[in-house]
Chain A
Amino acid sequence: MIPPRARINTEPYQTRKHRPDYGLFVLSSILLAVGLIVMYAISPALAAKGGNVSDNYFIIRQLIAVFLGFIAFFVFSKVPVKFWQKIAKPLLVSVFILSILAVLTGGREDLRWIQAGPLSLQPVEFVKLVVVITFAGFLAKLASDGKLTDKKSWRVPLIIVAGLIATIVFLQRDLGSAVVLLSVGLAMLFVVGMPMKYFMISLALIVSVGVLAVISTPYRMQRVATFLSPTKDCSADESYHACQALIAVGSGGVMGVGLGRSIQAYGYLPEAENDSIFAIFAEKFGFIGSVVLLAIYGALLLRILTIMQRAPDRTSQLIVAGVFTWFAVQALINIAAMLGLIPIKGITLPFISYGGTSLLFSMAALGMVFQISRYTSLRKIVYNYEPKKEQPNESDRHWRGNSRPRYTVTRRSI
């Protein structure tokens, strides 16, 4: 007979479905609420800029976007990861079609949008989601087959990636999104356990391509030159945006100017509802508000990281790693640009910026992480990329409270 509290090393820990991490939902809802509050406060200012729209035009559209975002979250939180892996190829094909459609129809000033009646869709957000799903599946398979460094296996995916990135960078001129995508890819390589040598090579490759992209286009050079120049001059067209962003953030001070008192939103700061929304937030809520906002982002990202560390399988882990990088890099690029740390990139602040497409796919991605959080282990899991090497599994059965009968479902998942 086995004593009740004995350490038993049996078969590897098997995850079973448990309570998901509602923290993800709560934190993202807070961010959405923050976005809505800011949008509500500046909606009249945005409406005043022109176009025949009512004062509440922007807030109503954002409310609809949030509603759709919740639906996406709900759907993705129910669908198992395996399903997405099954339809990975069709997804990839449709992403290509949509991207090319955007370039061909060329709505708006750039080629980033597909216009369908009153709706406009930014395919690049869809690209991010699909890249995370497909790349995760691909990498996980390579890793379990021990073929991570097998050159043959990389040919086709490299062509796909290069094609996508080229479309985004050179046709849609969306360097920001490309940076996000490449960061996502790099992070996934890193997490899957790509040997450092290969990782560094791909990093160097991507950086040099990035430098080339900047040097080859005058307007990007201009932005970099502006960024490097010591003064941010509001009167010059090139540095106007960066200067106005700093004025917005700086004038916020400790406590902020107050919710309804943002003046920069009244036409001074370009893209106030979108790329510049952090600056408007910082103006309204000051240093304290900004720190709280950063903390909320930090908490959300840390939770995602924890889920990543305990993901039940490689594919899941890589998906979570991709989503983590997506949100983290996007928030970082956006906020750092508003603080004058990097040149301005046209990129949204996840969950807060105005714009349905971005919000919809961010929520979908988070829903996917939420689904994965139902199967997390209690301990960190480090997947070894070398498949042959047998490692003794460690049981967590000796942990207090483990392996006792579960009578309720209130047990914490992690």
Chain B
Amino acid sequence: MKTNNTHTSKFDRTLLLRGGLFLVGAILLVQLFIVQIVHHDYYSAAALAEHVKKFEVSAERGKIYMNDGYATVPVVLNEKKYLVYADPKYIQSSDYTAEQLQQLIGGDLNQLEELLKKDTRYVVLAKKVDRSVADRIKEQKIKGVGLKEISVRTYPQGKMASQVLGFVNDDNQGQYGFEEYYNQQLSGKNGLQQKITDINGVPLAINNNQEQQDPIAGDDVTLSLDLRMQKIVEERLQENVTRTSSKSGSAVLIDANTGKITAMANVPTYDPSQYASQPDISIFLNTATNGAWEPGSVMKPLMMSTAFNEQKLNPGSTYFDKGSVQISDRTIKNSMEWGARNMSMNDIITKSLNTGAVYMMQSLGGGQIDEQARTTWYQYLTERYGFGRSTNIELAGEQGGSVIGPKDPDGVAVRYANMSFGQGLTVTPLQLAAAYAALINGGTYYQPSILSSVKTSSGEQAVPPKVVKTNVISPQVSQDIRAVLQLSASQNNKPALRDGYAIGAKSGTAEVVGDDGAYKTDAYNGAYIGFIAGKDKAYVLIVRLDEPKTSGFASAQAAIAWAAISNEVLNIVPIAPM
């Protein structure tokens, strides 16, 4: 060993290693300088572009309330739920993860596994998962599985007013009814947030000055629907639809002096929180506003008010009724034989005389259903009573019904003769209720409305009643029609009468147009519409039963339902008597 411990003058190779070390160090330093200082801005921007993700902060959807006479009661609220999603790219073992998840969120194991295997970056595994389940998923820290907080509508009153309310779909869009019509105001404005996140988009706690735009919550709304009345109407309607084995039923209760809807119900109905499981989407439709139909004799009081208001006839008028009337090639008969005799105006309503309705129609012209008669009736229907167009109530998908013009060449005299007693035109229950309100309140047509007040970020504001047209008919004619309707109710629907209250109504049975376009011979729609008036409150109630199976007039069944509703409303809701 010692012999080798020698110093030589030979070139020292270790010097080269030392030199190499310095050279490499210098290269690294230069590159470090270039990357970290020269190109710092570029890489900072690249980092920011990658780390900052924009988040939409969803605004809370407006809540919906009703009044129960004492306080406002929530009928639609929001609840936090969780959406479970996965990024299949990060799922290492789809069968194991599927098993893990299935124990938490349920569902079909194979289906979950299929989803986790998909060649995409985003699959929804479960919607509307409760917080407790979400927390357990979070604890498990399953790679590739994420949770998103979502807001879901809840309905403390269950099925109540479901067709009026509509529902909110998975994209947070209102569907049907009020939710759809008022979607924009209820939605509010989503806020925007920029956050630094990890690679999976999970925001980090690292503080940084981020742009932020707060969400603006949607408007809270109190509907004009009265919880008590809504409940009564729904229960009695359901009861009567069941009793009569009707296909469906619909009812509207409207405040005659404001146009505010206090109850609106349809049978059959559904649970809006379970909207996705409804097999038939027609159940979402609100027949009260969407179900235009031929109303039948309930149009007669409107025909009469027109003739009175035009001063062609008056409550004392009489005419000779032959039992039938010939219009062009058609013979119009009454539903019951009364024989040829003199009839009064009251008889036309109480006995529901089609011939009388035609007589009133003829009186508008020169004793014929001439163009003047037709034009007058048409104008009253469309311009004063609000038929043939939607009422603009705050509900989506409202129908306007159809009223054929007076100059239409297609058998126009016959059609107008039919129209005098409610056939050959279509109207919605809501249109009728609004027109009747004008008929009995002295002649003011109010805008039908479902809104009572709206609470925006700037405060709560009542939605005042809106007058569409005054002097639809004169106050005197309104008085006269009330009297006729009261007489009709007192003769035909005694159970509905009540001391201290003015109650008047008219029935209507109409033939049903079948799928083939012809009138069915075995099915009728029954309607019953009338008013309940106390000292300073007046309501119009319409009940419609579609194709009841019980014998007798369909309208008689509707009248029973009407009386049941009106009586219970008077029992429960304090309405001051006259």
Contacts and interface: CB of A to CB of B under 8 A. Distances in A.
Q: Say which size band chain A's interface belongs to.
A: 35 or more
Contacts of B25: 294, 298
A64 interface: no
B31 interface: yes
Given A144-B4, A249-B43, A286-B36, A382 B50 contact: no
Contacts of A68: none
B132 to A, nearest CB: 20
B213 interface: no
B46 interface: yes
Contacts of B51: 263, 268
Interface string A241-267: 000001111111110000011011011
Given A234-B50, A250-B40, A384-B8, A287 B3 contact: no
B8 A251 contact: no
A253 B37 contact: yes
Interface stretch (B11-19, B172-180, B313-321, B552-560): B11-19
Nearest to B34: A339
Interface in B55-95: 90
A191 B17 contact: yes
Interface stretch (A21-29, A148-156, A302-310, A405-413): A302-310
A291 interface: yes
A48 B202 contact: yes
Given A287-B33, A287-B37, A302 B21 contact: yes
Interface in A319-338: 321, 324, 328, 332, 335-336
A234 B18 CA distance: 37
Interface stretch (A91-99, A113-121, A210-218, A386-394): A386-394
B148 to A, nearest CB: 17
A305 B21 contact: yes
Contacts of A391: 6-8
Nearest to B46: A247
Contact of B6 (A49, A313, A339, A393): A393
Contacts of A190: 13, 16-17
Given A191-B17, A247-B47, A302-B18, A252 B36 contact: yes
Given A48-B202, A305-B18, A339-B31, A380 B44 contact: no
Nearest to A256: B36
Contact of B141 (A51, A234, A302, A390): A51
B47 A191 contact: no
Contacts of A45: 198
A130 interface: no
Given A246-B35, A287-B32, A305-B21, A380 B7 contact: yes
Contacts of B6: 12, 381-384, 390-391, 393
Contacts of B43: 246-247, 249-251
A291 B36 CA distance: 11
Contact of B3 (A253, A379, A387): A387
Nearest to B145: A50
B519 interface: no
A286 B144 CA distance: 32
A394 B7 CA distance: 7
B10 interface: yes
Interface string B191-207: 00000111110101010
A382 B12 contact: yes
A308 B14 contact: yes
B29 interface: yes
B2 A339 contact: no
A267 B200 contact: yes
A263 B4 contact: no
A341 B144 CA distance: 33
Nearest to B47: A251
Nearest to B48: A251
17 contacts: A11-B2, A190-B17, A191-B14, A191-B17, A234-B46, A254-B37, A264-B47, A294-B29, A321-B17, A328-B24, A336-B31, A339-B28, A339-B32, A380-B14, A382-B10, A390-B3, A393-B5
Given A11-B2, A250-B36, A267-B199, 14 more contacts: A49-B143, A187-B17, A193-B13, A253-B44, A290-B36, A298-B25, A305-B14, A305-B18, A313-B1, A321-B14, A324-B17, A382-B7, A384-B8, A391-B7
